[in-house]
């Protein structure tokens, strides 16, 4: 639910996921430069292989901006625990945890201000032994972003 500065609720609750089969968990939200916002979450069974990452953009008025979208393109195994942040150019970046063959790794996908994927999903972590998981992402003033996990900090200039 949106609130004003006091914080008094504005409007009604919004169900962000249109797919309601199985479970949708572990949400993340960020405000966008145009006054809107984007929400990401983990959804069970929707991508055909366990858990996947999905998102929905909203206008400043709280109306859905386009349909719910799948963030992860690799669907083998599970993708969990998204984090989203707005970027200086009006776009946003989403990070998440995905099984990488030797444990868990952190992956990301950048989006334009129009909500289109910019490039392909990418691996954030350079270390691949053991687990890198539970990421948190935040924007930098220069347009880049920083991703952290309990295992390491990675600064990306994309």
- Average pLDDT over the chain, rounded to whole? 87
CA nearest 72: which of 92, 103, 42?
Answer: 42
Q: How much is the pLDDT for 7?
A: 73
Task: Sheet containing 145-148: give its strands across.
Answer: 136-139, 145-148, 153-156
pTM of the model: 0.88
CA nearest 100: which of 136, 67, 130, 70?
Answer: 130
* Residue pLDDT, tens place only, 89-134: 999 999 999 987 778 889 999 999 999 999 999 998 877 767 778 8
C-alpha span between 54 and 72 (Å, rounded): 8
Mean pLDDT of all residues in 27-55: 94
Match domain 16-156 to its CATH number in 1.10.1060.10, 2.120.10.10, 3.40.640.10, 3.40.50.150.
2.120.10.10
Mean pLDDT of all residues in 49-76: 93
The single-letter DSSP state of residue 64 is B
* Residue pLDDT, tens place only, 19-33: 888 989 999 999 999
The residue ranges of every structural domain in the chain are 16-156
CA nearest 55: which of 73, 70, 66?
Answer: 70
Residues 41, 43, 48, CA angle at the centre, nearest 5°?
Answer: 140
CB 57 within 8 A of CB 26: no
Neighbour-count burial of 22, counting CB atoms closer than 10 A to its CB (0-12 exposed, 13-18 middle, 19+ buried): exposed
């Amino acid at each position: 639910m949106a609130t004003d500065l006091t914080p008094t609720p504005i409007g009604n609750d919004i169900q962000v996921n249109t797919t309601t089969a199985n479970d949708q968990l572990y949400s993340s939200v960020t405000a966008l430069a145009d006054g809107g916002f984007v929400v990401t979450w983990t959804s069970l069974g929707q991508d055909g292989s366990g858990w996947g990452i999905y998102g929905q953009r909203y206008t400043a008025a709280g109306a859905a901006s386009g349909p719910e979208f799948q963030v992860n393109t690799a669907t083998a195994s599970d993708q969990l625990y998204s984090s989203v942040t707005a970027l200086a150019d009006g776009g946003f970046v989403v990070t998440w945890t995905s099984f990488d063959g030797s444990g868990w790794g952190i992956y990301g996908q950048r989006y334009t201000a129009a909500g289109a994927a910019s490039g392909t999903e990418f691996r954030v972590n350079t270390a691949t032994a053991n687990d890198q998981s539970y990421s948190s992402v935040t924007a930098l003033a220069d347009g880049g972003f920083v991703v952290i996990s309990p295992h390491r900090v990675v600064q990306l200039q994309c």
